[in-house]
């Protein structure tokens, strides 16, 4: 049975093979016949005949018939005795062929004019039509893509529509409890939220809802965070947009977007409209050289009209944020538009502590971490910088493969954020020793002078940016907050700054002074000049001889006006030099009198590379005690 099936399969395969061979042979025969049949025609088609040869054949009586195609300037010639199956011979004619017609008539040759259809015009029309259809299809494709984009249907043509993000109840995840360190600003904004939630409590005594609140503060102080807290607490529709999204290259688009934004806000009143970085659209009008930006000014005019124009916008509270209130137009700042200007200051020590507690919730800190100490070490830090500080400390902890953040990582993070990334320590060399003397000069004067800020640390570990070492102080927080610097503090500050150069001159001599104190000298010149020209702290009298110049692109004067004569300018320069020279001489005197202490501190710094403030003050106190004991024994 198996043998029979095998024979059947073999016979079927043979049959298929034979059929394939037969088909191949048939195809080959057909191709051969086609080639053989077309060979005479191809050979005839390859016959060539020029215009002169045609005239000769006509005169010789060898031409039977001629068909002239004037459109293509071709004559199709059929010779005597030519096979009817063969195609006629094509002869290229000249532009004008009068002798050809004469010869044909003279020799009584049958001829005819049969022009072929000229399709060039039709082809041109079809090509133009196809190009036009392709352009239409491309435009439709662009419109379709823009309609399917996240911006909404027809976004490519809706330039004037507002791009504000709208939320019926903004769930930002931020509440007022999450905002710390800016209690005054938070309290004022809590009243706005309370007005939205329970307006009857305020309207009962005749109070009206504020139309706007402007948040003013340095970058990173928490203005946008406050807006998120308002959105989370209010429970009302919330529109948020950036000031730069109003400004476009097309004229009138910004004003149209403002109108559309307030139209949507009216439909959802009561609501909150938050405009971040309003200075992008609210700058002073008529500012700059040769006039202002017409498009931006039109946008600002429309914003002014919508906030407090002929038609009221009841129930719409506009909250804006900026860190440049000095550039805003005065019409934008008046009551009725922004009834409240809330200053979001840098946090004080208690505020920094609360901010650190908020950001330390999700950080694994060791028991030795003292947030109170960190708050004391970071005067002038904003909320964003404090958050970044703890994040950098966590990154350093993970890099060092530790289980929890310690004070070492906190201190390194403070230096990294405020000064720069630490580099490899310098090798023992003359350069390292000079750097140690330079930094000890700053640090020792900081400790010896009564009005100088207390020393935090001094180090000779280099930092990124070409910093080979630094002495770090803890600024007086009350002085920073008030900005009231005394003359004694400024003079001691100049002495501390010149301490590095002074110790180099005392130890290595005047010829060994290098250019490393260039930035120190610049700071000295700035402070001394402010003392003379702005603060009246010289014998020139309590007069303001200079003021901080305005910017030309904010509508200020292009050239600063001189407020004193050339004679007084010479006296100003002389007083600035006198202050710098006096402080430099005092710094050299103090360092010269404490030269043994300087050498001892340099040796400790070269060994440890970093001296903390408490250890530094202990060494200085021990030296003073030893001097006192020596003096008492001598007496």
User: For 421-437, how does the pLDDT look when each residue is reduced to its tens digit (9 = 90+)?
Assistant: 777 776 667 888 888 99
- Spatial separation of the C-alpha atoms in residues 439 and 256, rounded to whole Å: 60
Pairing of strands 110-113, 455-459: unpaired
SS3 588: helix
What pLDDT score does 7 carry? 44
- Dihedral of CA 393/398/399/401: which sign? positive
The model's confidence at residue 635, banded by pLDDT at 50, 70 and 90, is low
**Does the structure show a pLDDT above 70 at 589?**
yes
Q: How many Cβ atoms are within 10 Å of 531's Cβ, its own excluded?
A: 20
SS3 6: helix
What pLDDT score does 2 carry? 39
State the chain's maximal CA–CA distance in angstroms.
Answer: 156
Q: What is the mean pLDDT of residues 122-136?
A: 84
Angle (CA) 598 603 604, round 5°: 100
Most confident of 36-40, 170-174, 612-616: 612-616
The better pLDDT of the pair 515, 599 is held by 599
What pLDDT score does 5 carry? 41
Instruction: Supply the DSSP string of 507-539, one letter for each residue.
Output: HH-GGG--GGGHHHHHHHHHHHHHHHHTS--ST
By C-alpha distance, which of 473, 524, 520, 507 is closest to 595?
507
**Does the structure show a pLDDT above 90 at 583?**
yes
**Does the structure show a pLDDT above 60 at 141?**
yes
Per residue in 142-157, pLDDT tens? 877 655 544 444 444 5
Instruction: Supply the DSSP string of 149-212, one letter for each residue.
Output: STT-TTTTT-TTS---EEESS---S--GGG--S-HHHHHHHHHHHHHHH-THHHHTTT----SE
Q: What's the predicted TM-score (pTM) here?
A: 0.63
Per residue in 226-282, pLDDT tens? 888 887 777 778 888 888 887 766 667 778 888 888 888 888 877 888 888 888 888
By C-alpha distance, which of 319, 348, 309 is closest to 238?
319
Backbone phi, psi, residue 123, to 5°: -60, -40
What pLDDT score does 95 carry? 67
Question: 376: buried, middle or exposed (CB in 10 Å: 19+, 13-18, 0-12)?
Answer: middle
The better pLDDT of the pair 89, 119 is held by 89
Query: CA–CA distance from 607 to each of 37, 551, 610 (Å)?
Result: 107, 50, 9
What pLDDT score does 290 carry? 45
Residues 6 or more apart in contact with residue 66 via CB below 8 angstroms = 75, 76, 77, 78, 104, 109, 110, 111, 112
Give yes or no for a contact between 446 and 452, defined as CB atoms under 8 angstroms apart: yes
74-79 β-sheet, strand order: 89-92, 74-79, 63-69, 110-113
What percentage of residues in the chain have a pLDDT greater than 90? 16
Give yes or no for a contact between 582 and 487, defined as CB atoms under 8 angstroms apart: no
Q: What is the mean pLDDT of residues 11-39?
A: 44
Q: What is the mean pLDDT of residues 148-167?
A: 52
By C-alpha distance, which of 247, 264, 256 is closest to 302?
256
Tokens coding 185: 């600003």
**Does the structure show a pLDDT above 60 at 29?**
no
**Does the structure show a pLDDT above 80 at 181?**
no
- Spatial separation of the C-alpha atoms in residues 387 and 112, rounded to whole Å: 99
Per residue in 459-515, pLDDT tens? 888 877 677 888 888 887 666 666 678 899 999 999 999 999 999 999 888 887 888
> Which letter does DSSP use for residue 245 in this model?
G
- Spatial separation of the C-alpha atoms in residues 583 and 585, rounded to whole Å: 5
Q: What is the mean pLDDT of residues 131-151?
A: 74
**Does the structure show a pLDDT above 90 at 116?**
no
SS3 321: strand
What pLDDT score does 417 carry? 83
Per residue in 333-385, pLDDT tens? 888 888 888 888 888 888 889 889 888 888 899 988 889 888 888 888 888 89
| Residues belonging to the active site | 439
Query: CA–CA distance from 18 to each of 27, 30, 214 (Å)?
Result: 14, 18, 95
Most confident of 39-53, 209-223, 487-501: 487-501
The model's confidence at residue 391, banded by pLDDT at 50, 70 and 90, is very high
SS3 52: helix
Tokens coding 227: 């807006």
- Spatial separation of the C-alpha atoms in residues 371 and 359, rounded to whole Å: 11
Q: How many Cβ atoms are within 10 Å of 20's Cβ, its own excluded?
A: 10
Lowest mean pLDDT among 288-297, 315-324, 571-580: 288-297
What pLDDT score does 114 carry? 66
Give yes or no for a contact between 540 and 572, defined as CB atoms under 8 angstroms apart: yes
């Amino acid at each position: 049975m198996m043998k029979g099936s095998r024979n059947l399969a073999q016979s079927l395969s043979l049959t298929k093979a034979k059929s394939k061979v037969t088909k191949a042979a048939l195809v080959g025969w057909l191709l051969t016949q086609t080639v053989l049949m077309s060979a005479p025609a191809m050979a005839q088609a390859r016959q060539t005949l020029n215009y002169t040869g045609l005239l000769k054949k006509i005169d010789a009586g060898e031409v039977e018939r001629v068909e002239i195609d004037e459109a293509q300037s071709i004559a199709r010639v059929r010779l005597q005795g030519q096979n009817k199956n063969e195609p006629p011979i094509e002869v290229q004619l000249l532009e004008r062929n009068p002798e050809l017609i004469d010869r044909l008539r003279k020799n009584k040759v049958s001829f005819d004019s049969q022009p072929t259809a000229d399709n060039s015009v039709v082809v041109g029309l079809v090509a133009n039509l196809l190009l036009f259809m392709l352009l239409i299809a491309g435009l439709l494709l662009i419109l379709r893509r823009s309609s399917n984009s996240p911006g909404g249907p027809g976004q490519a043509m809706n330039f004037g529509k507002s791009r504000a993000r709208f939320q019926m109840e903004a769930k930002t995840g931020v509440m007022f409890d999450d905002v710390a360190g800016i209690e005054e600003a938070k309290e004022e904004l809590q009243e706005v939220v309370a007005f939205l939630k329970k307006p009857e409590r305020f309207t009962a005594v005749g109070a009206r809802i504020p139309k706007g609140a402007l948040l003013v503060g340095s970058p990173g102080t928490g203005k946008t965070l406050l807006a998120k807290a308002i959105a989370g607490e209010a429970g009302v529709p919330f529109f948020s947009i950036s000031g730069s999204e109003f400004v476009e290259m097309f004229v009138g688009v910004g004003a149209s977007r403002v109108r559309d934004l307030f139209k949507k806000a009216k439909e959802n009143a009561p609501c909150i409209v938050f405009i971040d970085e309003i200075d992008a659209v609210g700058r002073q009008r008529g500012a700059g050289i040769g006039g202002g930006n017409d498009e931006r000014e039109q946008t600002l005019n429309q914003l002014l009209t919508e906030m407090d124009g002929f038609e009221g916008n009841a129930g719409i509270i506009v909250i804006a944020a900026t860190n440049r209130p000095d550039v805003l137009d005065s019409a934008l700042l008046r009551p009725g538009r922004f009834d409240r200007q809330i200053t979001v200051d840098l946090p004080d020590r208690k505020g920094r502590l609360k901010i650190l507690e908020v950001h330390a919730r999700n950080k694994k800190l060791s028991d030795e971490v003292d947030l109170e100490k960190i708050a004391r070490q970071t005067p002038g830090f904003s909320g964003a910088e404090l958050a970044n500080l703890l994040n950098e400390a966590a990154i350093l902890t993970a890099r060092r493969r530790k289980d929890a953040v310690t004070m070492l990582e906190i201190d390194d993070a403070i230096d990294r954020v405020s000064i720069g990334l630490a580099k490899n320590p310098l090798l023992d060399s003359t350069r390292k020793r000079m750097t140690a003397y330079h930094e000890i000069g700053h640090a020792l004067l900081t400790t010896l002078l009564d009005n100088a800020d207390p020393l935090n640390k001094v180090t000779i570990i280099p930092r990124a940016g070409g910093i080979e070492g630094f002495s770090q102080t803890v600024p007086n927080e009350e002085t920073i907050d008030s900005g009231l610097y005394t003359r004694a503090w400024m003079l001691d500050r100049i002495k501390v700054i010149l301490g590095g150069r002074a110790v180099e001159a005392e130890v290595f001599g005047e010829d060994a002074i290098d250019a490393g104190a260039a930035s120190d000298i610049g700071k000295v010149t700035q402070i001394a000049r402010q003392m003379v020209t702005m603060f009246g702290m010289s014998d020139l009298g309590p007069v303001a001889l200079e003021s901080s110049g305005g910017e030309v692109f904010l509508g200020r004067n292009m050239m600063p006006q001189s407020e004193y004569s050339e004679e007084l300018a010479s006296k100003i320069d002389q007083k600035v030099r006198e202050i710098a020279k006096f402080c430099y001489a005092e710094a050299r005197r103090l360092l010269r009198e404490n030269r043994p202490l300087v050498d001892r501190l340099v040796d400790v710094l070269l060994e440890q590379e970093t001296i903390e403030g408490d250890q530094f003050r202990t060494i200085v106190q021990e030296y003073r005690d030893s001097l006192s004991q020596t003096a008492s024994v001598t007496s």
